Structure 1
Amino acid sequence: MGSARSASRVVLQLPAGWGARTQTLTLGGSTDGTTFTTLKSSAAHTYDPSTRNTVTLTFPAATQRYFRVTITANSGWPAGQVSEFQIWTS
């Protein structure tokens, strides 16, 4: 269980040893887990081993209980990949 919290940054990470790849990501947020609004519009983001294979999505602070990443393209594999999903207040 949890409650809605204000957040303005999501950090996504892949394993450090994986090769570089670009994924097209959209970030959504919801207070009820049913209706999601777009917090960060669809865009290509590059995971690079030289920067620890992380992607940071920033957006205006929003109070949400649920966060969802939708992956619509991936240059490194025929499916979406995320191994760590961090939500930050700043």
Structure 2
Amino acid sequence: MNHHQNIFKLTKRECECVFLLVRGKTAKEMADLLLLSKRIIESYIENIKNKMNCQNKAELLVKAVSNGYHKQVPIRLNHLAIMKSL
């Protein structure tokens, strides 16, 4: 995702989390995919909510989709998908 589309200045990890959240993944599922702890994922989600000025995940999802965060596949996730298909 380039900086023009990343208006909330999310980190690469945060962009990965938003991408997965929009697709209905739980914190546990995201942790498994990204090889991180559930607690770390929950921390990323809180950071994203703060950056987007959201009170809850539902509001976060609306803002993420309306600002195009769902359209860009993070490079790391694209790579993981390719590796899992082999």
Establish whether TM, by shorter chain, passes 0.5: no
TM (norm. structure 1) is 0.24
* Higher normalized contact order (CA 8 Å, seq sep 6+, divided by chain length): 1
Structure 1 or 2: more helix by fraction: 2
Structure 1 or 2: more strand by fraction: 1
User: Bigger radius of gyration, 1 or 2?
Assistant: 1
